Amino acid sequence: MTSKTTASLMAICVACATCAITGTALAQTTDTPPAQAGAGAAAAVSGDAQQEQAAKEEPQTEEAGAKTALPNGTDITPDHLENGRWYTVDDIPTYKITDGKIDYATFSGYRRYSAECHVCHGPDGEGSTYAPALKTSVLTLDYYDFLEIAASGKQEVNKAANLVMPAFGTNKNVWCYIDDIYAYLLARGTGDLPRGRPANKEDKSDEFAAQEDSCMSG
């Protein structure tokens, strides 16, 4: 977690082994597999058609030259490094892929998401039957709203269910890597990073290691 993010709040919710959120919470969270299509729909729609339909439903990013803008208007073009992590000109965490290699912080985000978040939100940010696909949520959810929900948690009660997402403000395994997790989910949501463990990554920098040690031991 960088000094800037520390000033914002304290936690993340990309992990939750016992709860869940609905589509409005963190756009909502793990080892439960994504909801399966009904048998009737599966029979009526071919695999290719299903993929095309899913692609239409997901928010699309816009590219202008070397810049990439999210549906919420956020420009996620990498601008500068801080503590071994890439940020935009507006100091929003982002990712960078160079010669097929993902930056180390985004790889770190994959590791932390897989360890702390996938139980509710499904592997690779794909969502589950009771928690949203975070790879899609981050395309429309403001970064600071993402942090707020992660830090404070959220509860939604209705006639059908009582869904609770816990706060992760005191969980260093999440908070110290919140920007990494966010960057990882962005890379997944834009389609620049495929499912599974990233095959190629940059080495961990001394700056990243120093900030990591400071946060985890502080």
23 vs 158: which has the higher pLDDT: 158
List of residues 6+ apart from 24 with CB closer than 8 A: 156
Backbone angles phi, psi at 155, to 5 degrees: -130, 135
What radius of gyration, in Å, describes the C-alpha atoms of the chain? Answer: 17
The residue type found at 154 is K
119 vs 37: which has the higher pLDDT: 119
Quote the CA–CA distance of 80 and 91 in Å, as a whole number: 8
Confidence band for 1, pLDDT divided at 50, 70 and 90: low
28 vs 100: which has the higher pLDDT: 100
Burial class, 16, CB count within 10 angstroms (exposed 0-12 / middle 13-18 / buried 19+): buried
Mean pLDDT for 5-18 is 41
Quote the CA–CA distance of 146 and 14 in Å, as a whole number: 10
Least confident of 31-35, 112-116, 152-156, 175-179: 31-35
Backbone angles phi, psi at 172, to 5 degrees: -65, -25
Burial class, 7, CB count within 10 angstroms (exposed 0-12 / middle 13-18 / buried 19+): exposed
pLDDT at 181 over 60: yes
Predicted TM-score (pTM) of the model is 0.71
pLDDT at 99 over 90: yes
Confidence band for 72, pLDDT divided at 50, 70 and 90: confident
Confidence band for 62, pLDDT divided at 50, 70 and 90: low
Structure tokens at 36: 């399966």
DSSP tag of 128: -
Mean pLDDT for 180-206 is 97
In percent, how much of the chain has pLDDT > 70? 68
Classify 97 as helix, strand or coil.
Answer: strand
pLDDT at 55 over 60: no
Q: Do 86 and 182 meet the contact criterion of CB atoms below 8 Å apart?
A: no
Q: Residue 27's pLDDT is what?
A: 39
pLDDT at 82 over 80: yes
Q: How many contiguous H segments (helices) and E segments (strands) does the chain have?
A: 10, 8
